[in-house]
Each structure stands twice: as structure tokens, then as C-alpha cells.
């Protein structure tokens, strides 16, 4: 495996502004000789994560994780040692050099090869969409939805050719082995030549550093499932991935807020309207891993799920998940269409931007929902409403807020 010499390692560490590296992931406050913030590795509401101003080492008094800045990057971004050093070298402006060693790490090689494959494929799908006649129909669909060429470029949207033979032949011609392709997450489990994606609009899914490691394909016609996701691969597991986090990251940090949408098309629609802090969970459910990934970068989230019953239910659950990691949470209910994508298509960017201002806080949203779901004029209905509200109440991060919310519940339910 490629090794980094001790001299280069030292040079990188000497030139690293470690505090700024930590602060990309944790909002730190100086107290004495140390810096404190909310731990990115476990869920908490009062800071127990510390960085020593002298040594640059970190330690969490809650979950007891600790170590160097290299260890921190490896853990927080799920990087290998080499990747973490590359990242630090890039930030410090040091040219990294490797010494070859005999024991090549097979898993590491596979991981790199897989990332290269996804990167290559993402570019190829994009080429088909914007340059090839077969991608024309997909491009028209996206244009009709109000998405510009610039946006299509920014998110590297693509088109997977309709031929079921194309992908296998293309990748074999590039020199990939059958065994490697079998575990690539791109082909059917039952038939290793059968691609998961054919004649679909492709959304590459990347991590916070922009490395594509999964795809979602949207059907062009009504046949078959509307969306297909490629599975998480054994060599690249990331539970905290959110669609568009890479593109939204700067905006999330500068606004201190993330907008969580239900669908990928909604995310793109918000970006098209200039609201560039929009992201989406990969499947339908918003998870606590994803909430943690956002809390490392902002203190507030806005949930914008579809206005149907399934969307409202997803929003209810997401309120508690976000509140439980200490995110200040509010809800945006789509008005004038079932979701952001429909509003952009039918009413334009101006309407979507106007709508985006009408947020209500999560507590009010849930109380209103409780009133709709249960008959709160009866004792039984009141009891059901209280147990419905309990997960959110339990997740609130201060006694003061909790007491205030209990009062509000009392007033509403009588």
C-alpha cells in the first residue's frame, strides 16, 4: 500500500490549521485553553466535545472518542488514513508523496476502484443526457420541470441508455472484471449482466466531499417502479448521506439552516429558485444519522414534505428526529401544489420563493396535526393526542422549552 513518509506527515501536520478543520464539522467555542462544541459522534444537547488549543487533540467526555486531527477526519467523514492525509495536505497546500509498500490493501483498492467507477459512470450518464440523441427525452422532462442546463450541470444529472446490454459491455471494455462488477451495486442480484438502470434519468448521489457512490434512477414512462436506488455497497457505507448535501453545503453553513425535502425533484426545484440549502433523505425516511450530519453544519432545519397524508406523517416523525439531536425545527407546508416541484413547474420560481417563507415551528405543526387526527373534545382523544406529541416533547432540548410546550398543549387540549 502507498505509504506517506513520516517527514511529509509531519510537514502536513505542522502546516495544518487544525481548529479550522474541526470547525468545518463542529461549531466550537473557546473556554480557557480549550474549545468546546456538540459532539459529532453522539447525540447530545450540551457540549462535551473538546479540542485542546495546545495539542490540537480532540476528546469527547460523553462518548469517549478522542485522538488526533487525522483520527477525527477518518471518523467524521468515514475516510481511510490515506484519504484523511490527502485531505489535510490539500488544505495545508502540501504536495503529498507516497512510498510504495508491498502489502496493497485489497479493500482499499476496491474502494478506490469503486469510487472511480461511479465517478466515470456519472460523467458518462451526464454526457448521454446533454449530448446524445437518446438523452433528449430526459432532457425535455427536466426542462419542462423548470430546471436549467446550468442546474443539470451542477448536479451532474444524467441519462442511462435504454439498451440492457450497454452497461455491461461498456464496463467490460473499460477493463472491469466480472467479480468486481458483481459487487458494484449496478447490476441485478439475480443476473449479473442485467443493469439496475436503463432508460432512466439518473441522479448521482455523493457524500459531503462530492464523491459519487450511489445512483437513483427515475423512470421515463409509467411502467415499472418510478424510482430505483442502487444499494449501499460493502466497500462504501455511509449512513449519513443526504442527496445534494455536497451542492448545498456552503449555503447550509452560511445560512445556519438546511431545508429537508421529500423528493429529489423538490430539492432541484428549490435550487432552481435560488434556495440552495435544500437536501433530501435518500429513501423516504429521514434518519437520525442524517440529522446528526446536518447538525454538524447548522443549528436549524426546515422540513418540506408533500402535502398528502404520507408526507404529513413523514414530517411528524422527522420533527422528533431533528429535535432529538438538538436542531431547531420548523415545517413548510407546500401551498398551491402537492410539492415544490409541481409549484415550480406550474407557478414559477417567484411563487416557490414566496411559499418558502411561510414556515411554522414544529411544535405548532404537531399540535395542529393532533387536532386533525384525534377528537380532542373527548378524554380518549386528548390522551391519544398527548401520546402522539410525546416523542417531540421528549426530544426538546431544554426544560424551559419543554415547560412552555406543555403549557401550549394544555391550552390547546383544554
Cα 253 to Cα 15, 25, 247: the distances in Å are 25, 10, 12
The one segment of 1-9, 63-71, 146-154, 177-185 that binds Zn ion by CB under 5 A:
63-71
Residues β-bridged to residue 51? 35, 58
Beta carbon nearer to Zn ion, 74 or 89? 74
Under a CB-based contact definition with an 8 Å cutoff, are residues 324 and 291 in contact?
Answer: yes
Q: How far is CA 357 from the centre of its chain?
A: 23
Between the alpha carbon of residue 95 and those of residues 70, 185, 209, the distances in Å are 17, 34, 20
Choose the binding region for Zn ion from 14-22, 60-68, 81-89, 210-218 (rule: CB under 5 A). 60-68
Residue 72 interacts with Zn ion (CB under 5 A): yes or no: no
Size of the site for Zn ion (CB under 5 A): 6
- For Zn ion, the closer CB: 62 or 381: 62
63 binds Zn ion (CB under 5 A): yes
Minimum separation from the CB atom of position 64 to Zn ion (A): 7
- Give the footprint of Zn ion on residues 35-54 (CB under 5 A): 39, 41-42
Q: Which residues from 145-184 bind Zn ion, rule CB under 5 A?
A: none
Which triple of cell numbers denotes residue 135?
438523452
Q: Provide, rounded to whole angstroms, the least separation between the CB of residue 281 and Zn ion.
A: 23
- Shortest reach from residue 57's CB to Zn ion, in Å: 14
Task: Give yes or no for residue 60 binding Zn ion (CB under 5 A).
Answer: yes
Kindly state the smallest distance separating residue 291's Cβ from Zn ion, in Å. Answer: 15
The nearest distance, CB 38 to Zn ion, in angstroms, is 9
- For Zn ion, which stretch binds (CB under 5 A), given 18-26, 34-42, 126-134, 321-329? 34-42
Binding segment (CB under 5 A) for Zn ion, from list 25-33, 58-66, 332-340, 350-358: 58-66
What sign results for the dihedral spanned by CA atoms 346, 349, 304, 382? negative
Rg (CA), the chain: 24
Report the distance separating Cα 191 and Cα 182, nearest Å.
9
Residue 103, judged by CB atoms within 10 A of its CB (0-12, 13-18, 19+), counts as exposed
Instruction: Rank residues 48 and 412 by Cβ distance to Zn ion and give the closer one.
Output: 48
Which residues, in sequence order, are CB contacts of 413 under 8 Å at separation 6+? Answer: 370, 376, 382, 385, 386
Q: Of 60 and 273, which CB lies nearer to Zn ion in the complex structure?
A: 60
Alpha-carbon distances of 221 from 132, 160, 200, 214, 303, rounded to whole Å: 19, 14, 9, 22, 29
Of 21 and 362, which has the nearer Cβ to Zn ion?
Answer: 21
Taking the least distance from each CB to Zn ion, the nearer of 37 and 161 is 37
Q: Among 56, 62, 66, 105, which residue interacts with Zn ion (rule: CB under 5 A)?
A: 62
For the bound state, the minimum distance from the C-beta of residue 72 to Zn ion, rounded and expressed in Å, comes to 12
Q: Compute the least distance from the CB of residue 77 to Zn ion, in Å.
A: 16
What angle is formed at CA 242 by the lines to CA 237 and CA 248, rounded to 5 degrees?
135
In a 13 Å sphere around the CA of 12, the CA atoms on its Cβ side amount to 23
DSSP category for residue 258: E
Is residue 144 a contact partner of residue 268, using CB atoms and an 8 Å limit? Answer: no
- Of the candidate spans 59-67, 168-176, 324-332, 382-390, the one that interacts with Zn ion by CB under 5 A turns out to be 59-67
Query: Least CB distance from residue 45 to Zn ion, whole Å?
Result: 12
Choices 55-63, 68-76, 128-136, 362-370; region in contact with Zn ion by CB under 5 A: 55-63
| The residue to which cell 415545517 is assigned | 331
Which stretches of the chain bind Zn ion, using CB under 5 A? 39, 41-42, 60, 62-63
Amino acid at each position: 500500500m502507498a505509504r506517506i513518509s513520516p517527514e511529509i506527515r509531519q510537514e502536513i501536520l505542522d502546516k495544518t490549521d487544525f481548529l479550522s478543520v474541526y470547525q468545518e464539522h463542529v461549531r466550537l467555542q473557546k473556554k480557557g485553553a480549550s474549545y468546546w462544541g456538540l459532539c459529532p459522534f453522539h447525540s447530545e444537547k450540551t457540549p462535551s466535545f473538546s479540542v485542546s488549543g495546545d495539542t490540537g487533540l480532540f476528546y469527547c467526555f460523553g462518548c469517549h472518542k478522542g485522538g488526533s486531527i487525522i483520527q477525527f477526519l477518518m471518523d467524521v467523514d468515514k475516510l481511510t488514513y490515506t484519504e484523511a492525509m490527502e485531505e489535510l495536505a490539500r488544505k495545508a497546500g502540501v504536495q503529498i508523496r507516497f512510498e510504495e509498500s508491498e502489502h496493497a490493501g485489497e479493500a482499499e483498492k476496491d474502494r478506490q476502484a469503486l469510487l472511480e467507477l461511479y465517478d466515470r459512470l456519472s460523467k458518462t450518464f451526464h454526457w448521454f443526457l446533454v449530448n446524445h440523441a437518446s438523452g433528449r427525452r430526459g432532457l425535455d422532462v427536466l426542462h419542462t420541470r423548470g430546471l436549467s442546463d446550468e442546474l443539470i450541470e451542477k448536479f451532474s444529472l444524467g441519462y442511462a441508455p435504454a439498451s440492457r446490454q450497454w452497461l455491461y459491455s461498456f464496463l467490460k471494455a473499460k477493463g472491469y472484471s466480472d467479480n468486481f462488477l458483481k459487487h458494484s451495486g449496478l447490476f441485478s442480484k439475480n443476473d449479473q449482466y442485467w443493469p439496475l438502470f436503463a432508460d432512466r434519468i439518473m441522479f448521482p448521489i455523493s457524500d459531503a466531499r462530492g464523491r459519487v457512490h450511489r445512483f437513483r434512477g427515475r423512470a421515463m414512462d409509467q411502467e415499472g417502479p418510478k424510482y430505483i436506488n442502487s444499494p449501499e455497497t460493502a466497500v462504501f457505507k455511509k449512513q449519513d448521506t443526504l442527496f445534494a448535501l455536497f451542492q448545498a453545503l456552503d449555503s447550509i453553513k452560511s445560512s445556519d439552516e438546511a431545508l429537508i425535502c421529500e423528493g429529489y425533484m423538490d430539492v432541484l426545484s428549490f435550487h432552481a429558485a435560488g434556495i440552495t440549502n435544500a437536501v433530501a433523505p435518500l429513501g423516504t425516511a429521514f434518519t437520525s444519522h442524517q440529522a446528526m450530519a446536518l447538525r454538524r453544519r447548522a443549528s436549524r432545519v426546515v422540513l418540506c414534505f408533500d402535502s398528502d397524508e404520507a408526507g404529513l406523517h413523514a414530517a411528524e416523525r422527522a420533527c422528533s428526529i431533528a429535535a432529538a439531536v438538538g436542531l431547531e425545527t420548523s415545517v413548510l407546508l407546500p401551498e398551491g401544489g402537492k410539492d415544490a416541484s409541481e409549484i415550480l413547474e406550474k407557478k414559477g420560481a417567484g411563487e416557490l420563493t414566496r411559499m418558502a417563507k411561510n414556515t411554522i415551528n414544529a411544535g405548532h405543526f404537531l399540535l395542529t396535526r393532533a387536532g386533525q387526527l384525534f377528537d380532542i373534545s373527548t378524554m380518549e382523544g386528548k390522551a391519544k393526542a398527548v401520546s402522539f406529541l410525546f416523542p417531540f416533547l421528549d426530544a426538546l432540548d431544554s426544560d424551559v422549552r419543554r415547560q412552555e410546550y406543555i403549557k401550549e398543549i394544555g391550552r390547546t387540549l383544554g
